[in-house]
């Protein structure tokens, strides 16, 4: 799935106001132990690299003083981890928000997320997220494995389109299983740079965090890192310098479509994180440059829309399928490219 959970570069930034996330007292009989090893055994899902990053940023304190990752914790020491952002559970605050609900019953909700809306709170997005709005409209939502109420899957902040939200524990379990077993249906429309060679095909290659740019995901075609990712694509319309495609996800990795398209030479149009905000195809003469830049202004985000969502209803067993039209910004840019291609006979 296209997730909206990038690792932010300033996650461990220093701040005059720090929030306590973890606090531990070392047992009195404990032998001296490096603080990174001390914490990795006590914080679920922590990695040594993350803890060392936190230490370098001054976010780990022993008895009130910042320490390095190799500091030896002794019996009776108070070890705290503090960040400049509040703990996640403090961000789950109901907030009034207009939701574009496509379908709702007693068990689930399908909604159409607008571009620019972050799905859940996290560093840099402490309020005003879709989850804050969901908590206002639906007082009781089951938590997923990440303790995020109602969320079965996610899409990126600047990706628009369909999401399903669970209203009961059993619905959450059933839908999550469908996504895990790849029996759900997820189709996206994307405008990408270049003229894709074949009318349809499959992009393969494991996807994992980029080794140098932590804000990007990278494709490892030899599967040496990351997790298996499979994206099926079909060309919908060709405009010469850009192509409108439909992408069907068989797996759901972070930034899957964006990373696959970048790796195979067709970054999403105006996808700043993956280089699609440059003029990648066509001659860079003045009128063409102005045309592309005007398109960027109309569509100030990656050209990606989660248009189709299908699954089996967890209670009724009915096959559910939903579609939502392309948002106005994508429609307008696609039409501009359509007219440009006709005019230039591309």
Q: Is 320 helix (H, G, I), strand (E, B) or coil?
A: strand
Q: Are 12 and 69 in contact (CB under 8 A)?
A: no
Catalytic pick among 4, 16, 100, 156? 156
- Please say whether the dihedral angle defined by the alpha carbons of residues 46, 49, 50 and 54, taken in this order, is positive or negative: positive
Q: Is 325 helix (H, G, I), strand (E, B) or coil?
A: coil
Backbone angles phi, psi at 92, to 5 degrees: -80, 70
Residues 6 or more apart in contact with residue 58 via CB below 8 angstroms: 14, 66
* Six-digit token string for 237: 């319309």
Residue that the structure tokens 């990053």 belong to = 53
Query: Using a CB cutoff of 8 Å and minimum separation of 24, what contacts does 48-53 make?
Result: 53/11, 53/12
Parallel, antiparallel, or unpaired for β 101-104 and 33-34? unpaired
What is the C-alpha separation between 285 and 198, in angstroms, rounded? 28
- To the query of whether residue 4 is one of the catalytic residues in this protein, the response is no
* Nearest residue to 17 (alpha-carbon basis) of 67, 85, 78: 85
What is the C-alpha separation between 11 and 125, in angstroms, rounded? 12
Residue 84 has what DSSP assignment?
S
Q: Which sequence positions are flagged as catalytic?
A: 156
């Amino acid at each position: 799935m296209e997730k909206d959970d990038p690792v932010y570069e300033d996650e461990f930034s220093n701040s005059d106001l720090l929030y306590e996330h973890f606090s531990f007292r070392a047992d009195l009989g404990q032998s001296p132990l490096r603080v990174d090893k001390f914490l990795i055994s006590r914080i679920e899902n922590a990695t040594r690299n993350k803890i060392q990053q936190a230490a370098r940023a001054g976010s780990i304190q022993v008895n009130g003083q910042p320490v390095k990752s190799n500091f030896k914790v002794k019996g009776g020491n108070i070890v705290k981890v503090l960040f400049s952002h509040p703990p996640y559970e403090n961000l789950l605050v109901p907030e009034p928000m207009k939701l574009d609900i496509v379908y709702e019953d007693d068990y689930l909700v399908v909604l159409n997320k607008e571009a620019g809306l972050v799905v859940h709170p996290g560093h840099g997005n402490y309020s005003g997220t879709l989850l804050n709005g969901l908590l206002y409209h639906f007082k009781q939502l089951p938590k997923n494995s990440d303790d995020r109420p109602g969320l079965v899957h996610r899409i990126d902040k600047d990706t628009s389109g369909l999401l399903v939200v669970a209203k009961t524990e059993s619905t959450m379990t059933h839908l999550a299983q469908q996504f895990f077993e790849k029996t759900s249906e997820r189709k996206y429309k994307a405008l990408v740079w270049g003229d894709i060679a074949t009318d349809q095909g499959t992009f393969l290659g494991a996807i994992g965090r980029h080794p140098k740019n932590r804000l990007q995901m990278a494709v490892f075609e030899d599967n040496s890192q990351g997790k298996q990712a499979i994206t099926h694509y079909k060309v919908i319309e060709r405009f010469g310098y850009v192509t409108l495609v439909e992408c069907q996800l068989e797996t759901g990795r972070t930034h899957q479509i964006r990373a696959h398209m970048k790796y195979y030479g067709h970054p999403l149009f105006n996808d700043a994180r993956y280089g699609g905000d440059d003029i990648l195809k066509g001659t860079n003469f003045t009128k063409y440059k102005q045309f592309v830049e005007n398109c960027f202004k109309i569509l100030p985000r990656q050209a990606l829309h989660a248009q189709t969502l299908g699954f089996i209803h967890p209670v009724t067993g009915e096959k559910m399928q939903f579609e939502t039209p392309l948002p106005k910004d994508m429609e307008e840019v696609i039409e501009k490219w359509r007219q440009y291609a006709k005019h230039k006979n591309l």
